[in-house]
A and B are shown apart, each in its own frame.
Chain A
Amino acid sequence: MGSAHSVPAEMRELADRTGFTSEQIEHLHRRFKQLSQDQLTIRKENFDSIPDLEFNPIRGKIVHAFFDKRNLRQESDGLAEEINFEDFLTIMSYFRPIEMNMDEEQLDRFRKEKLKFLFHMYDSDHDGKITLQEYRNVVEELLSGNPHLEKESARSIADGAMMEAASICVGQMGPDQVYEGITFEDFLKMWQGIDIETKMHVRFLNVDTIAHCY
């Protein structure tokens, strides 16, 4: 690609798979070593060493997402005990910025991936839909930075939001129908107006990413 010295084969393979450039991978590797204290894997406890993360109301969910096997593209379900660098990169790849030379189909897949990641964060019991209780949990966590707030407020906001979601996804409902929960398709519908592909990204380095193919 331009670097004179030979790039190790596994690095290149990683680059191909996750879409990062070698510089970005090196940078992230350094960070990984920092977090893991030079071990090969990271556990949940390692994330406690990040000071700024303390203030984050949803840190529990974020850390959980790193160990969620669904995000690690593994066939099985559940939580992993520890993750290695490759898994770390895999999670990070969800936050890659959009590239200009993507076509419609790639864009759509890109978007779905990011939304799937978000969906997994909301759906904590891994049953494929976001139930009212899980949604309430999300709102409670978001408001957890305000200790004097009563639980009632969080609950009713979640209820209102759920009703709105139901009316978007299903429309008119009779009094006997019950809306089980937000499925992934409904979730996609809710996010239709928002350009998630342009919003959900983190700048890793100011370097052009190589065009990558799945």
Chain B
Amino acid sequence: VHASPWLAAACFHVIPSVSSIVPESCLLIVVGLLVGGLIKGVGEKPPILKSDIFFLFLLPPIILDAGYFLPLRPFTENLGTILIFAVVGTLWNAFFLGGLMYAVCQLGGPGLNHIGLLANLLFGSIISAVDPVAVLAVFEEIHINELLHILVFGESLLNDAVTVVLYHLFEEFASFEQVTILDIILGFLSFFVVSLGGVLVGVIYGVIAAFTSRFTSHIRVIEPLFVFLYSYMAYLSAELFHLSGIMALIAAGVVMRPYVEANISHKSHTTIKYFLKMWSSVSETLIFIFLGVSTVAGHHYWNWTFVISTLFFCLIARVLGVLVLTWFINKFRIVKLTPKDQFIIAYGGLRGAIAFSLGYLLDYKHFGMRDMFLTAIITVIFFTVFVQGMTIRPLVDLLAVKKKQETKRSINEEIHTQFLDHLLTGIEDICGHYGHHHWKDKLNRFNKKYVKKCLIAGERSKEPQLIAFYHKMEMKQAIELVESGGIGKIPSAVSTVSIQNINPQTLPLERVLPALSKDKEEEIRKILRTNLQKTRQRLRSYNRHTLVADPYEEAWNQMLLRRQKARQLEQKMNNYLTVPAHKVDSPTMSRARIGSDPLAYEPKEDSENLPIITIDPASPQSPESVDLMSEEPKGCSGLPPSPEEDEEGLVMRVKEPSSPGTDDVFTPGNGDSPSNQRMLRCLSDPGPRPEPEEGEPFIPKGQ
């Protein structure tokens, strides 16, 4: 029972045809239903998704993952639109639905008559909020364009404040004798307290986390811990005071990210990224499974009128809300929302587990019809997730909605973007118009002058954004290059353009190296060096075939192959400015050569002095590089098996000894084949290992 969800998820990804029709969330719910049914059939009572567990443990990882990796630029550009959808849209939904359901209840006969207006309004507020978990689960798979994604997703995040306020408000009012105008006004004000208070709590914790990360240079191992810890504390603190926990979490993630990333090491950054993805993945799976189980386990009270009219009015409310709001918003937007966009926004309003948990929290004393509410909520959730979730992909294709463009961020783009920003700010100043760019520029300047100095350690606080970006790209390219081993597809478009093509006067040796800070350069060198040295130490086991073949000839073939690879590698390395592709052996290269050459002969003197780099193309590391920039895990493509692999017989690979600080977790074991490397979420490289003693070959000569 415990392993079945993940087995199901794993099977799901292996069967491609299923995943193209059915979104993962649906399948997980079905699995939950099956599991729940199974448990019930056995006679046990299946567990229900308790609200505590949901709100305290299952929801935060997903929100933190979303908040930490939130694409900030599109979010802030569309913030007005998002806020209007989140606040006004949710309010409209809640009241419209609540009011109409009240009318239905009054007309619905004896079974429904007793349900008061407040109860209906409460029900409306629970069911009206768009759910971030469901939206993430479905939208992630359809790869829709960035604008729509951020609109729907942003809305689902920011409407939490509204939901929290309305829920608590109506719940309290239900126990009042009378509701006065004062109560309503206070309720209205509490909205601002909840949302702004939540954001404030998040910002405070974010700043503390950033400040802490400034001093962690000696304890790199626990850097990720601070990020998780402070974010979770932000969430808990906010929830404690009945502020919006989700907004606190988002605010914390957004605020801390630029400073933390400037301070922490490359390994920590990778750790944070993958832990967040892992936790949010697990949470999501559990949430949907539990939804399925709870459906089977819960007490239901099915009332046709209530449920059907809920469903119907939910859809109508959403469509009307989106239409009216878009008409209003388009007056102020430069990039107007087309009807196609509006349709997707309306259709993407999925409900999910938050609604269920909120409904579950209602107590029987005040809300005797809780079971009916829960049934209706579950029905709506099922409908949105199954019907809307499954059909949104074909609809997106049918309507030819713009998909996400996989653009690689390039240095050119960065230069142009910055140039444009400054240009537009300048024009605004000349116009005398204090617009969007003006304030953004002011914020940037404030950030650079005061905040960065406090929160970023050392000299990186003065690093301008362009340089930081450039370093990031260089690092990424260096890693990509080495991991791909010279053979196999290098993701970045490396052409044969070199410095001579653009500036004929420069001699190749007169390479201008940008002034990297010393430790940055050291980091890049370390990565390259240790990856170059990381060879599969082949201890040939006893095998008649290898003994019979002429060892010298085989070695010769290997050397030729290796030289060819090295030549390709050399040429590609020529394009990178900071990695000196010296013809003369640098200490780096010669160490690599000695350390990695398992064959027991010296390279000949006249062999062009090419660095003989043994990079095993069939290394068990994932062939696709760690993409530091993009937030989504890319799928991996397997490397073709190297020709050498076939030649050898049994090859025993010695596992290198681990040492403190190395993550052995990611080291794959023996018997890895390139086909195992097709993983959807790639493991990163384990990072540089401590160097073996210098000058000593791994295999002593003469063996």
Contact = CB atoms under 8 A, between A and B. Distances in A.
A101 to B, nearest CB: 11
A150 B8 CA distance: 56
Interface in A23-48: 28, 31, 34-35, 47
A55 B440 CA distance: 13
B184 interface: no
Contact of B502 (A28, A174, A178): A178
Interface stretch (B60-68, B162-170, B389-397, B492-500): B492-500
B659 interface: no
Contacts of B14: none
Nearest to B426: A62
Q: Which of A57, A59, A160, A198 has the most CB atoms of chain B within a 10 A radius of its CB?
A: A160
Contacts of A200: 420, 423-424
B361 to A, nearest CB: 44
B551 interface: no
B415 interface: yes
Interface of A: 28, 31, 34-35, 47, 50, 52-53, 55-59, 62, 92, 95, 97-98, 100, 118, 121, 132, 138-139, 142-143, 145-146, 148-150, 152-153, 155-157, 159-168, 170-175, 177-179, 190-191, 193-194, 198-204, 206
Nearest to B445: A55
A32 B294 CA distance: 68
B334 interface: yes
B431 A163 contact: no
Given A31-B431, A156-B514, A157-B466, 5 more contacts: A34-B432, A153-B470, A159-B512, A160-B411, A173-B495
B495 A31 contact: no
A28 B429 CA distance: 12
Contacts of B426: 53, 56, 58-59, 62
B422 A191 contact: no
Interface string B3-35: 000000000000000000000000000000000
Interface string B375-415: 00000000000000000000000000000010100111101
Contacts of B438: 52
A164 B577 CA distance: 12
B247 to A, nearest CB: 28
20 contacts: A28-B431, A31-B431, A53-B426, A53-B430, A58-B422, A97-B334, A132-B502, A138-B415, A142-B418, A153-B514, A159-B503, A159-B512, A159-B577, A160-B470, A166-B502, A167-B495, A170-B497, A179-B501, A179-B502, A194-B417
Contacts of B462: 146, 148
B415 A139 contact: yes
Contacts of B418: 142
Contacts of B419: 58, 118, 121, 138, 142
B332 interface: yes
7 smallest CB-CB distances across A and B, nearest first, come from: A167-B495, A156-B514, A52-B429, A62-B426, A153-B514, A167-B497, A161-B411
A143 B417 CA distance: 14
Contacts of B515: 149-150, 152-153
A173 B424 contact: no
A94 B658 CA distance: 62
A143 B410 CA distance: 18
Contact of B433 (A153, A166, A193, A203): A203
Contact of B430 (A50, A152, A167, A171): A50
A146 B464 contact: yes
Nearest to A53: B429
Contacts of A148: 462
B501 A166 contact: yes
B424 A163 contact: no
Contacts of A57: 422
B540 interface: no
A191 B438 CA distance: 24
A206 B329 CA distance: 12
Given A47-B430, A172-B495, A203-B436, A177 B501 contact: yes
Interface in B574-603: 575, 577
Contacts of A139: 415, 466
A18 to B, nearest CB: 14
Given A170-B497, A202-B431, A159 B422 contact: no
B429 A163 contact: no
A200 B410 CA distance: 19
Contacts of B470: 153, 157, 160
A156 B514 CA distance: 6
B412 A164 contact: yes
A84 to B, nearest CB: 16
Nearest to A150: B515
A92 B418 CA distance: 20
B425 interface: yes
Contacts of A92: 427, 431
Given A142-B419, A157-B411, A164-B410, A56 B466 contact: no
Contacts of B498: 163, 175
Contacts of B416: 118, 190-191, 194
A196 to B, nearest CB: 8
Contacts of B437: 202
Contacts of A149: 464, 467, 515
Contact of B425 (A56, A166, A203): A56
Given A142-B418, A148-B462, A163 B497 contact: yes
A95 B422 CA distance: 14
A155 B334 contact: no
B412 A161 contact: yes
A201 B420 CA distance: 10
Nearest to B415: A161
Nearest to B459: A148
B107 interface: no
Nearest to A163: B497
A173 B467 contact: no
B489 interface: no
A100 B338 CA distance: 10
B80 to A, nearest CB: 12
Contacts of A35: 430
A163 B477 CA distance: 15
A181 to B, nearest CB: 9
Contacts of A58: 419, 422-423, 426
B425 to A, nearest CB: 6
Q: Which of B429, B515, B575 has the most CB atoms of chain A within a 10 A radius of its CB?
A: B429
Contacts of B417: 194
A57 B420 CA distance: 12
B435 A56 contact: no
Contact of B504 (A168, A178, A190, A201): A178
Contacts of A193: 405, 407, 413
B501 A203 contact: no
B513 interface: yes
Q: Which of B335, B423, B493 has the most CB atoms of chain A within a 10 A radius of its CB?
A: B423
B434 to A, nearest CB: 9
Given A146-B464, A159-B499, A166-B497, A190 B412 contact: yes
Nearest to B516: A153
Nearest to B474: A160
Nearest to A95: B427
B433 A204 contact: yes
Given A58-B419, A159-B577, A173-B501, A50 B435 contact: no
A201 B435 CA distance: 11
Contacts of A142: 415, 418-419, 422, 466
A98 B334 contact: yes
A167 B433 contact: no
B497 A173 contact: yes
A202 B428 contact: yes
A157 B470 CA distance: 7
B444 to A, nearest CB: 10
A131 B233 CA distance: 53
Contact of A56 (B429, B464, B513): B429
A78 B575 CA distance: 37
Contacts of A145: 464
